[in-house]
Amino acid sequence: EHLDDAVCREVWEETGIQTKFERIVCFRHLHAYRHSKSDMYFVCKLRPLTAEITIQDEEIAKAKWIPVEEYLAGEHIGVFNKGVVKLALQSEAGLVSGWIDGFDADRKLREIYLPPH
């Protein structure tokens, strides 16, 4: 399963919201995290196609739509997450699913995320 499909599927499974992948906003790789394993953290921008929330009780306790300003003002929101959201709002830059013309490889087995062009 490709990243853009997986992100949209996870959002749908956990919230019931249909989305369209737009871009990767941030990628963080943390070495030697829990159990001395690497941890990869992706932040992706999705466009909602539906708005009604139906939560998956086994995965999340609650979900609701809030204005971005309210999120950024939240005392429980970490500096890293606030910074990523602020940067994403300031720029449309990011990585989008793409391909390099002439690259002879099976697209089903590879994913490439590049700056928009």
Residues belonging to the active site: 13
Q: How many residues does the chain have?
A: 117
86 phi, psi to nearest 5 deg: -60, -45
Question: In the chain, what are the helix, strand and coil shares in percent, each to the nearest 5?
Answer: 30, 25, 50
CA distance 68 to 82: 10
DSSP 8-state class, residue 46: E
